[in-house]
């Protein structure tokens, strides 16, 4: 496999960054496919891992439990050599599409909501809660397909714990709060891990990627900024659903608002597919 990999765009500056450990990503080709080579951690993280392996014998296998081949919104994984993983190149960052035609952005929002639902309910054994939804961690390819390219920081919750291990709050729906902290992606690991299900992923997508009042400088106004007037006229509840998904009035409302927002986006995309 290594003989078929060729690095591209590898300047002296890039080499220096990788040597210093401040950059962990390289680009290349594998046959006819564009790929990304990821160093599996910063130098200090690998040194810490060495210490655990050599002195404490604490080594857990990192399984590929979200394969792209099963339609998870992640890049295809080709394999690894040593401490470098080889993945499919998934496209340009979401930030590059901030001023794309509104219907294109609406389709990206549709995919984000579907991904939030998949990570929450699709896997038979685990829930995956996103803790870093920076637009730079999400890529869009030339066909408009969206994928999460960095799932290093994810909270994994066992959906099927035994009755003996259930916390008292387990059967209560958890709803992520909106804290008065501009620019903060605030959450409680303890709360996510002590409830059977949470609306956290919808909170992450709506509050920090889609909503018009997000504070991120990477997507000012949110991904769905400047909704065309004719779409607001035909779907007047769209702005309200976006706000409700971001900042719901009551517990469980975010799940409902997210599903209704997804339905409206699908209707808009279908009805106005020729509108730019």
**Residues 80 and 97 grouped into a single domain:** no
**Residues 179 and 248 grouped into a single domain:** yes
| pLDDT over 80 (residue 252) | no
Using 50, 70 and 90 to split pLDDT, how confident is the model at 251?
A: confident
**Residues 76 and 199 grouped into a single domain:** no
Q: What is the pLDDT of residue 49?
A: 60
In a domain, 201, yes or no: yes
Which residues touch 11 (CB under 8 Å, ≥6 apart)? none
**Residues 76 and 120 grouped into a single domain:** no
**Residues 186 and 253 grouped into a single domain:** yes
Beta strands in the chain (DSSP E): 5-8, 25-30, 33-39, 77-81, 84-88, 92-93, 126-130, 138-140, 146-148, 154-158
pLDDT mean across residues, the chain: 84
Percent of the chain with pLDDT over 90: 56
Which residues touch 122 (CB under 8 Å, ≥6 apart)? none
Q: What is the pLDDT of residue 17?
A: 43
Q: Give the Cα separation of 40 and 172 in Å (integer).
A: 37
In a domain, 193, yes or no: yes
Q: Give the Cα separation of 96 and 124 in Å (integer).
A: 34
Parent domain of 53: 2-88
Q: What is the pLDDT of residue 73?
A: 96
In a domain, 167, yes or no: yes
Q: What is the pLDDT of residue 25?
A: 74
Q: What is the pLDDT of residue 263?
A: 98
**Residues 71 and 169 grouped into a single domain:** no
| pLDDT over 70 (residue 3) | no
Beta strands in 89-173 (DSSP E): 92-93, 126-130, 138-140, 146-148, 154-158
Q: Which residue has the higher pLDDT, 38 or 53?
A: 38
Q: What is the pLDDT of residue 181?
A: 63
Q: Are 133 and 144 in contact (CB under 8 A)?
A: no
DSSP string, 39-99: ESS-HHHHHHHHHIIIII---------S-GGGT-SSPPEEEEETTEEEEE---EEGGGGTT
| Domain-terminating residue out of 62, 88, 114 | 88
How many domains does the chain contain in total?
2
H or E, element range at 210: none
| 194-224: pLDDT as tens digits | 999 999 999 999 999 999 987 678 899 999 9
**Residues 148 and 249 grouped into a single domain:** yes
| Domain-terminating residue out of 47, 65, 88 | 88
**Residues 76 and 197 grouped into a single domain:** no
Q: Which residue has the higher pLDDT, 113 or 85?
A: 113
**Residues 109 and 27 grouped into a single domain:** no
In a domain, 79, yes or no: yes
Q: Is 155 exposed, middle or buried (0-12, 13-18, 19+ CB in 10 A)?
A: middle
| pLDDT over 80 (residue 123) | yes
Using 50, 70 and 90 to split pLDDT, how confident is the model at 184?
A: confident
The mean pLDDT value for 155-162 works out to: 92
In a domain, 6, yes or no: yes
Using 50, 70 and 90 to split pLDDT, how confident is the model at 54?
A: very low
| pLDDT over 90 (residue 34) | no
In a domain, 170, yes or no: yes
Percent of the chain with pLDDT over 70: 79
| Domain-terminating residue out of 88, 123, 158 | 88
In a domain, 197, yes or no: yes
Phi-psi region of 104 (alpha: psi -120 to 50; beta: other; left: phi over 0): alpha
Strands 154-158 and 33-39: unpaired
Enter the pTM of the model: 0.81
In a domain, 276, yes or no: no
State the CATH number of the domain containing residue 256: 1.10.510
**Residues 70 and 170 grouped into a single domain:** no
**Residues 53 and 131 grouped into a single domain:** no
**Residues 82 and 189 grouped into a single domain:** no
Q: Are 209 and 112 in contact (CB under 8 A)?
A: yes
């Amino acid at each position: 496999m290594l003989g078929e990999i060729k690095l591209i765009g590898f300047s002296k500056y890039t080499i220096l960054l990788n040597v210093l450990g401040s950059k962990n990503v390289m680009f290349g080709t594998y046959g006819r496919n564009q790929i990304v080579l990821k160093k599996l951690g910063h130098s200090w993280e690998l040194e810490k891992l060495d210490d655990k392996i050599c002195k404490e014998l604490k080594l857990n296998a990192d399984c590929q439990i979200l394969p792209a081949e099963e339609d998870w919104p992640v890049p295809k994984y080709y394999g690894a050599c040593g401490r470098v993983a080889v993945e499919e190149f998934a496209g340009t960052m979401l930030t590059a599409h901030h001023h794309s035609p509104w219907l294109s952005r609406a389709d990206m929002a549709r995919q984000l909501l579907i991904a939030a639902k998949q990570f929450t309910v699709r896997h038979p054994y685990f829930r995956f809660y996103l803790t870093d939804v920076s637009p730079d961690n999400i890529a869009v390819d030339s066909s408009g397909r969206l994928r999460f390219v960095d799932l290093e920081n994810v909270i994994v919750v066992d959906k099927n714990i035994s009755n003996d291990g259930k916390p008292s709050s387990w059967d209560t729906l958890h709803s992520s709060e909106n804290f008065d902290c501009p620019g903060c992606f605030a959450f409680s690991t303890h709360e996510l891990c002590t409830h059977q299900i949470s609306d956290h992923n919808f909170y992450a997508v709506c509050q920090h990627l889609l909503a018009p009042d997000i504070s991120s400088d990477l997507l000012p106004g949110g991904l769905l900024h400047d909704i065309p007037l004719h779409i607001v006229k035909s779907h007047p509840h769209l702005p309200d659903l976006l706000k409700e998904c971001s900042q719901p009035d009551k517990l469980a409302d975010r799940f409902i608002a997210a599903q209704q927002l997804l339905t409206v986006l699908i209707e808009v995309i279908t009805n106005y597919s020729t509108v730019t």
